[in-house]
A and B are shown apart, each in its own frame.
Chain A
């Protein structure tokens, strides 16, 4: 598929449809491609599309929308939800994007390969269903289903929500219950919950990677960097701050988060940040009706809607800590 994408990108550059391409460039290893702009056919020789191209390119379209001319962007099915959400919020310009909906059969998590005790990796090649990991100690064959990103186990489906053309086959890789993790925590006692989150959040180093990668966290200036809120402390001045940061971050994207899973993917400390977002999603679905941010560009988000009969906040105590 990679060759197909490169050829099509070259065509679109050549016929003037687009002036640049937003995609993934080969990294120093097979498993760490990086997001990059390609301005010419030559540069596209470094373009890569493989199982490690998990990065959601939607957010980069905010900046690309400000540039002259159209940008070709490759979006996987789940990435298109983020793009739609950004459209709803007037953050990207649809006319500045030429979207190739690119096929996706699930993306892979290098941490899960390493977790199998595999070290000294020199290369990874693969088919859609399995990869061959070459290491200085020999080759290993691993089934893709065992090393997928967490978000691919709860895949939103193989449909692209917005695109100009489609290339490649997609597959719905869902094989787990999206809310299982949230439910497991809900079932804990308050003490257990607190212990769980204290342990997880204590790992936070406030590197802001989660915020920087998040397509919903697209503010020009985050409230946590702004003097307007008396909250501008990049480093924690009190031990409460990382809690405040993660609660408010999740709250700010509540009803807007498409559950793309990028926050958890990029967290260098491995904090399962999606558990915050999914808690809000679960509550919204249960209390205000099923809602999937980014499903279309003309939905009204749950936090800017209401009904007279909405549940009272007291429902939290009534439901009790399970």
Chain B
């Protein structure tokens, strides 16, 4: 039996004006287990809190009910007061007789009656409260950043600058990501590489940052503050400690026909290669599928020409196991496959390309050395047609329902750059809407139209048909003039929808991080916690969370870093004790609870259970208190009632229901 003290606050006249406080005290005192009841003008004041301490000391209270304002206001205050008085803080319940009572009921009889009932409900609940103790878990002061694009680099730099160790895992041979593939950036037209490479160098040189390129995350276990991660460092076939990055091996390599991933398949590379000139690390990789030595056992020219003796054909994949306190996901995006869009003739004509491919074409290091030319015959184009929203804002299953957000701006950029460099080339853009929210964005788009004479047509392209003379016939609708038009073009550029990099799906499973129907990682709250995953300790950086441009990506990367730093700065994590708990004797081990847990907090163990003398091995649910956030979804899903929520237990809520309906 509890010994409960009830403290009724007047809140000046806020409560006392429409609730007869004395009557509430009188009625509360009659409730079972209530051994003390009093009222006070301001319970939250120092003097009010002292009343609690005094009553605890004099009457040996084990539970406290404060009838006052909303628990959202002062629950923490009274819990601390209880703790100071020597009572477990979770033995305190608040009856909200201000916001939910005195402020909305003008009739004092009504208000008083309701306040009494609310007090009874709180008393009934406290009767069943049990002391709860926040747990503690340690924090490994190292962060993992998955993905080495601009998002990952920025997050890593920010975390490292705060003094914490960071590892970047990048699946390709170099960091840099999509931004490294871009030619210029909107709306300032800076050279992308020029602003990215200093960041790459800074990351590589940072004493707190380790970079694992050509590596993938293979296994993740643990939880916030204490993740254990296996990283597979794929065999590069090069001893990175010996390689000087001279590049002779790449020149001499006999296999030069592989399509360059960096150039989006528009050019070729050698079997031993670095993806691009500024790659970091500047250590090549042997593509074992393409290498003659690996295919036939003959060749070995790279080993012969390598003065440093860095070539190692015997190198094997290596698994590195490391502990981390926080994980930043920055897996970025790719463009969608266009296989289902036959109408654009992407697979039929070399002169129909995606915007990302155009970036490579425009780039001085690209397949055409930066000259704008048709990829089919190398001729200078006279007319280029851009098609917006290819697969974006798409209602059928071929594309994506969302706006890819960056296409309007980069298309304006492309159009402007082409018109600037080649004033003789005619540029037409087909669009559904032009979306230019962002600093200096609309101005930029208007310059493309007004200063550079880019022809924008509102309408959708229905078909691109390659013609016998090598040109492309573009059939489209002009929605403003309400007519069908046919244009002859030399090149067609498709603003292809972006989607999360496919690697994010298995990664999300490993992280137990939730993912939406479009494979974007879900944020903990769409407005208030946009850079955190609902799974504690996982932070979201860049396009893995949703489409965004470079400045937004960098901003989010910084925000994710700050959240990670906030976590790493703690020596220990205090866990919310209002977590779910499974009664092993009742648990069926049916997995229903784990199916509804948004945090992956429930796992199953086979344990020897002594059920009233019957000893047997049973599969039972185990809740990880560091992960559980206390939503209670599992408690209702559980058919046997084995799963209960501490602080909001079945019996506590039922007691409140009974008190209200009595």
Contact = CB atoms under 8 A, between A and B. Distances in A.
Q: Which of B585, B616, B639 has the most CB of A within 10 A?
A: B639
A304 B586 contact: no
**In which size bucket is the chain A interface?**
20 to 34
A90 B590 CA distance: 5
A228 B650 contact: yes
B585 A223 contact: no
Contact of B654 (A218, A226, A229, A300): A229
A300 B595 contact: yes
B403 interface: no
Across the A-B interface, the 8 shortest Cβ-Cβ residue pairs: A219-B640, A89-B590, A304-B595, A223-B641, A252-B639, A229-B641, A230-B654, A228-B641
Given A221-B586, A304-B637, 10 more contacts: A90-B619, A219-B588, A219-B640, A220-B585, A226-B640, A229-B641, A229-B651, A253-B639, A304-B595, A304-B596
A109 B469 CA distance: 80
Contact of B590 (A91, A222, A228): A91
Interface in B588-625: 588-592, 595-596, 604, 611, 616, 619
B583 interface: yes
Interface in A198-230: 218-223, 226, 228-230
A226 B583 CA distance: 11
Nearest to A66: B616
Interface in A84-122: 88-91
Contacts of B641: 223, 226, 228-229
Contact of B640 (A223, A303, A304): A223
A215 to B, nearest CB: 13
B395 to A, nearest CB: 14
Contacts of B587: 220
A304 B637 CA distance: 8
Nearest to A221: B586
Interface string B92-121: 000000000000000000000000000000
26 contacts: A88-B591, A89-B591, A89-B592, A90-B588, A90-B589, A91-B589, A218-B588, A219-B588, A219-B640, A220-B585, A220-B586, A221-B585, A221-B640, A222-B640, A223-B640, A226-B586, A228-B651, A229-B650, A230-B654, A230-B655, A252-B639, A253-B639, A300-B595, A301-B592, A301-B595, A304-B596
Interface string B630-648: 0000000101111010000
Interface string B547-579: 000000000000000000000000000000000
Contacts of B639: 219, 223, 252-253
Interface string A64-94: 0010000000000000000000001111000
B634 to A, nearest CB: 10
Nearest to A219: B640
Interface of B: 583, 585-592, 595-596, 604, 611, 616, 619, 637, 639-642, 644, 650-651, 654-655
Contacts of B592: 89, 301, 304
A91 B586 contact: no
Contact of A228 (B588, B611, B644): B644
B519 to A, nearest CB: 15
A222 B639 CA distance: 8
Contacts of A228: 583, 586, 641-642, 644, 650-651
Contacts of B655: 230
Contacts of B586: 219-221, 226, 228
Given A221-B640, A304-B637, A230 B650 contact: yes
Contacts of A252: 639
A286 to B, nearest CB: 22
A88 B583 CA distance: 21
A145 B233 CA distance: 68
B514 to A, nearest CB: 12
Interface string A293-322: 000000011011000000000000000000
A53 B619 CA distance: 32
A186 B580 CA distance: 38
Interface in A210-269: 218-223, 226, 228-230, 252-253
Contacts of A253: 639
A40 to B, nearest CB: 26
Nearest to B609: A220
Q: Which of A89, A222, A228, A303 has the most CB of B within 10 A?
A: A228
A90 B637 contact: no
A253 B637 CA distance: 11
B58 to A, nearest CB: 33
B591 A90 contact: yes
A187 B587 CA distance: 40
A303 B591 contact: no
B637 A303 contact: yes
A244 to B, nearest CB: 12
Nearest to B516: A308
Contacts of B619: 90
B611 to A, nearest CB: 8
Contact of B588 (A89, A300, A303, A304): A89
Nearest to A223: B641
A125 to B, nearest CB: 42
Q: Which of A66, A218, A220, A253 has the most CB of B within 10 A?
A: A220
Given A66-B616, A228-B650, A220 B596 contact: no
Nearest to B604: A90
Nearest to B589: A90
Nearest to A89: B590
A66 B619 CA distance: 12
A254 to B, nearest CB: 10
B613 to A, nearest CB: 14
Q: Which of B587, B590, B655 has the most CB of A within 10 A?
A: B590
A301 B590 CA distance: 12
B426 to A, nearest CB: 44
Contact of A220 (B588, B637, B644, B654): B588
Q: Which of B589, B596, B640 has the most CB of A within 10 A?
A: B640
Q: Which of B585, B590, B641 has the most CB of A within 10 A?
A: B641
A219 to B, nearest CB: 4
Given A89-B588, A90-B589, A220 B640 contact: yes
Contacts of B650: 228-230
Contacts of B591: 88-90
B281 to A, nearest CB: 43
Contacts of B611: 220
B638 to A, nearest CB: 9
A123 B616 CA distance: 44
Contacts of B588: 89-91, 218-220
Nearest to B583: A228
A303 B587 CA distance: 19
Contacts of A219: 586, 588, 639-640
A91 B640 CA distance: 13
A225 to B, nearest CB: 10
Nearest to A248: B639
A230 to B, nearest CB: 5
B651 A230 contact: yes
A221 B583 CA distance: 11
A221 B616 CA distance: 15
Nearest to B636: A303
A129 to B, nearest CB: 41
B383 to A, nearest CB: 43
Contacts of A88: 591
Contacts of A229: 641, 650-651, 654
Contacts of B654: 229-230
B606 to A, nearest CB: 10
Contacts of A226: 586, 640-641
B569 to A, nearest CB: 36
A229 B639 CA distance: 11
Contacts of B583: 228
Contacts of A89: 588, 590-592
Contacts of B644: 228
B654 to A, nearest CB: 5
